Amino acid sequence: MTLTEGLVRLIRAKPVGSADLAKAALFVLDAMANALAARNTEPGTILRRWAKEQGRGQGRDAGRDAFLMGGLIHILETDDLHRASVVHPGCVVVPAAFAVAGRDGAQGRAVLEAVLHGYEACCRVGMAVGPAHYRIWHNTATCGPFGSAMAAAALGKLDEGQAVHALGNAGTQAAGLWQFLETGAMSKHMHAGRAAEAGVVAAGLAGLGFTGPPAILEGDKGFFAGACPDADPAAVLGDAEAPWQVHDTSIKPWPSCRHTHPVIDAALELHGDMGQEDAAEIQVVTYAAALDVCDRSRPQSEYEAKFSLQHCAAVALRDGEVGFSSFDDKARKRVAALAARTIVAVGEPFAADYPEAWGARLAVTTAGGRRLEAGRTHCKGDPELALSDAELTDKARYLLAYAGLEDGAARALIDAILALAEDGPLPGLDFQ
């Protein structure tokens, strides 16, 4: 039995309860609110224009719809994250499920079960790729196609063999490099969109008899051999009786890279202790991956600021709050000197605990010579510090207001998405 065969069997054997469906509905809500909020950003406008041009004179295409939704969800940096796999599953799985369901007329429970299947697949593959993979490859882009394919296979009612072929052809499309960070290029959004689209295409072809390599993960010329020098293949099928991976997925309260969140949480705690003093220096101790991705003492753009430990620490400490405006040109200039006085380093226990826990410790030396410290083992929004259902819907309302929806329309959309757990119909959404 290959790993993909085992993965399909494991996922399809897992029981689905009402709590699982309710949790999946909340994650669908988070993803859809992110997509709508990003429509009028610069990359969102480009993605929508591209999608409209591709659709001229043609019917709707589920793969293209998934691409657009996935790209939009990943723009504002407030979409979900699964820590152990370092995958953002919502921006890949939810678009695939919604696109296929919208095309085929599926609703409610079927859509949410497909979402559960998709999260499970991409997170399990992500937990197996090993830390070296993440230094070059963007896990959401490379592991995501397994999730979108599994979701699409569920909605397409593919049998076991067809689902294995879908995963095989999804895996051979795995791609996405971190090089975009050097210039703050928009490629990261394309990564999510392409991963969502890849699975839709792979599952659609498999349903017609198009075969894929069943040993795409562990084969001599497979994914692990090509891109994962320290892979842990056993993690794909390990702990099969664990709850659905959606329960171990974090919701982001702040619109920045998740690696910056423990620093933000700690800085917000210390803000109230600063009084009228400014900080002479900030010291951050965290894990290596956070520095690999977010060590930027002088971010030059809004996107770079979202990937800057230094800026995030400075703006959270100075302002006592973090929102979309915390990363614009005005905010960057306002805290630039403090960000430049922020020192970042790798240290314990955070280095050893990653990726199971994403933590950090912040030490602030005030202008008056006081030393203040705060640390986080987990971030706000992690399963250990989960947002309440009320906080999740508040976040959705905030995003939908940012998207321009009036409160009544936002509430109606929130209710419709949450009603999927009661087998309600798919809400009509057009992102173009």
Report pLDDT digits (tens) over 119-142: 999 999 999 999 999 999 999 999
Residue 59 confidence (pLDDT): 60
Q: Got the DSSP string for 12-75? A: HHS---HHHHHHHHHHHHHHHHHHHHTTTSHHHHHHHHHHHHHTTTS---HHHHHHHHHHHHTT
Quote the CA–CA distance of 90 and 94 in Å, as a whole number. Answer: 5
Is beta strand 371-376 parallel, antiparallel or unpaired with respect to 249-250? unpaired
158 vs 55: CA distance, rounded Å: 27
Given a contact cutoff of 8 angstroms between Cβ atoms, the answer to whether 234 and 132 are in contact is no
pLDDT at 53: 86
pLDDT at site 58: 59
Q: Give helix then strand counts, H and E, for the chain.
A: 19, 6
Q: Is the distance from CB of 53 to CB of 93 less than 8 angstroms?
A: no
List all residues 6 or more positions away from 179 whose beta carbon is below 8 Å from its beta carbon. Answer: 187
For position 184, what pLDDT does the model report?
86
∠ CA 151-157-161, nearest 5°, is 90
Query: Residues 311-342, buried b or exposed e (16+ Cβ, 10 A)?
Result: bbbbbbbbbeebebebbeeebbebbbebbebb
**365's tokens:** 């030396």
CB 116 within 8 A of CB 18: no
Compute the distance between CA of residue 334 and CA of residue 66 in angstroms, rounded to an integer.
Answer: 39
Neighbouring-strand partners of residue 286:
346
Distance of CA 242 to the CA centre of its chain: 21
Say if residue 262 is preceded by a cis peptide, omega within 30 of 0.
Answer: no
Coil/strand/helix, residue 251: coil
Classified as helix, coil or strand, 286 is: strand
Give the residue from 203, 49, 235 showing the smallest Cα distance to 128. 235
Determine the Cα–Cα distance for residues 66 and 43; give it in Å rounded to an integer: 16
Residue ranges of the chain whose pLDDT lies below 70: 56-59
Residues 368 and 352: their CA atoms lie apart, in Å, by 34
- Domains of the chain from N-terminus onward: 3-253+387-422 (1.10.4100.10), 258-376 (3.30.1330.120)
Q: CA–CA separation, 260 vs 398, rounded Å? A: 21
Q: What is the dihedral of CA 37, 38, 41, 43, to 10 degrees?
A: -170
Q: Do residues 31 and 97 lie in contact, with contact meaning Cβ atoms separated by under 8 Å?
A: no
pLDDT of residue 364: 96
